[in-house]
Amino acid sequence: MCTGMEMMASNGNQDWAMMGSRCTLAMSDEVGFVHPSQFISLVEKADTPSPSFKTVPQSVDGVVESKASEVHPTDMVFWCRDHKLGISSDVLHALYIAAKHAFMAALDGYKRISSISASKDGFGDEIMSSCSSSFLHHESEVMKHSRALLLLSSDFGTAWNSRKLVVHMKRHFPMFEDELFLSALVLSYAPKSERAWSHRRWVIKMVAGKFSNLQDIVEKESQLVERIAERSKMNYNAWNHRSWLISYLSGGQVLDEWKKCREWAGLHVADNSCFHYRTRLMLRMLEDSWYNDDSNACHNCNAGLYEMWKEELDWVERLIKRYRGREALWLYRRFLSVCWIKHFANRDVSCYSDHQSSSIYGLDIFMDNELRLLRSCTTIPSFEFEDYQADAKFSSMYILWLTKHMPESHRIEFQKKLQPEELETLLNNVCPEKIFLWDYLRTQCEGLKIEMAKGMSYMYDRFEVVPAPLISPQKPSNAPKLETIVEGGCERLDVLQKRLLCLLPVVVSFASYLYINGYAIA
């Protein structure tokens, strides 16, 4: 049995075996679903006539088949040219039913032959040869029909798992390459398919440690993600896959990735997934610097990280001022700021001073710079511009968040420079629903002031208020006078009276009970 897609590909001299082959043009192969009215424009744009086919589903003994014939573009079902396959949306359901039927039949036969092969000890050589040829036939059928099914339904988990089963048994590198090619073909029409991305990660895990060209595969994976992200905006699954690849990158590749994706991030400032990827890259470089045993190399690495972090902060600041109201930039700056405070601002900066382009950028300068950025972003020329209002909101939220992560030794000073009255007024105007954050911050800061005041009072009581070493009649002592306390007895008397009043109803009730019972007995 052959599905309509397979017949179309074979008539167009591109059968599924060739489409699964490893070639340099593999990444340009695409599959798409086309409305019937769009086939005319596809044919008109082509330089030379392209083969056009119409499939007529037929049923023979309960099995759905397809026959192909040349038709007019208005009646086309498939369009294939320049490694691009277009499928009419009118026949998707019929194709899916046919492909699923063929795949499930092939999978059942494959499982049946596998169970027979598992108990092959009692069979002769002739029967074993027949079982082996039948096993290979069913294996080929499973791979063929699962390929057709996945090109129609990207999230058919049974089809993906059946391919994993066959490939895992073979463990041939060409088969791993075929799986990468097929999943890339599926991603061409379903770029956010988590099943396809997960299948690619499984293939890379299988290749890692067994073949020598893993680094080339990982580099091509990054290029694939960037191309797909260019066509599919806000593609979390694609960027999450690229972040997962960082663990397989070498130190030099991590630095190259960080440099290469900066231009893309600067052109897609609203895509938070891209900035999350940069976060993972920078954390990897920071982690590598911690585990570096060579002291000289570690010193140079720290100096390079210091300059890199400062350069990244300046770059994000320019983007914030250029593109107003982009929350992704402010979220990324939070990560940069908290890492700067923890790993660079609080350390001895003398170790970075011998770097040629290094400039001392301590915590005080950092705080002043962030306050200048806040004031530049909270200046709203007119409330008609929503981007400026959003920028004021994000900058206010950022500065409140930053205040919480400041060291306690600098938090009070930072709050004084913050001009809280102006910020509170701005929050009331721009985002009144977030004013509770300011109340919480004010409570925290007041609590910190009270704790500091208690600490100072404790220090004063401990070191300054000391009793006089000698007490004389002429000079009064600093110690308090002892006086007779007479209130204690009165308090105890009051408590006793209250207890007696509580017990009085009980005594009266008990006496009444005895009196009545005694009268009844008498």
pLDDT in tens, 180-228: 999 999 999 999 999 999 999 999 999 997 888 888 899 999 999 999 9
pLDDT of residue 70: 55
HEC sequence for 254-293: HHHHHHHHHHHHHHCCCCHHHHHHHHHHHHHHHHHHHCCC
Percentage of the chain lying above the pLDDT 90 cut: 34
pLDDT at site 273 = 94
Q: For the residues 98-109, what does the mean pLDDT come to? A: 95
pLDDT of residue 107: 94
Burial class (CB in 10 A: 0-12, 13-18, 19+), 408: exposed
Q: In what order do the strands lie in the sheet with 52-60?
A: 30-34, 84-88, 78-81, 52-60, 63-69
| Tokens 């220090």 belong to residue | 459
pTM: 0.72
Tell me which residue of 118, 158, 119, 120 sits closest to 142, measured CA to CA.
158
The continuous run of DSSP H or E covering 167 comes out as helix 157-170
- pLDDT at 521 exceeding the cut of 70: no
The larger pLDDT score, comparing residue 330 to residue 298, is at 330
pLDDT of residue 176: 94
pLDDT of residue 18: 37
Buried b (16+ CB within 10 A) or exposed e, 144-163: bbbbbbbbbbbebeebbebb
pLDDT tens digit string along 286-308? 988 877 655 555 555 678 888 89
Categorize the per-residue pLDDT at 178 as very low, low, confident or very high, splitting at 50, 70 and 90: very high
Residue 311 has pLDDT above 50, yes or no: yes
Would you say residue 483 has pLDDT above 70? no
Q: What is the structure's pLDDT at 329?
A: 96
Return the pLDDT at 289: 83
Pick the range with the lowest mean pLDDT from 112-121, 434-443, 509-518: 434-443
pLDDT band with cut points at 50, 70 and 90 for residue 375: confident
Confidence at residue 450, expressed as pLDDT on a 0 to 100 scale: 56
Across the chain, what does the average pLDDT equal? 76
Best mean pLDDT range from 82-91, 311-320, 413-422: 311-320
Give the pLDDT of residue 432: 72
Q: Is the pLDDT of residue 509 over 90?
A: no
Give the pLDDT score at 71.
57
CB 51 within 8 A of CB 68: no
- φ, ψ of residue 235 to 5 degrees: the values are -90, 90
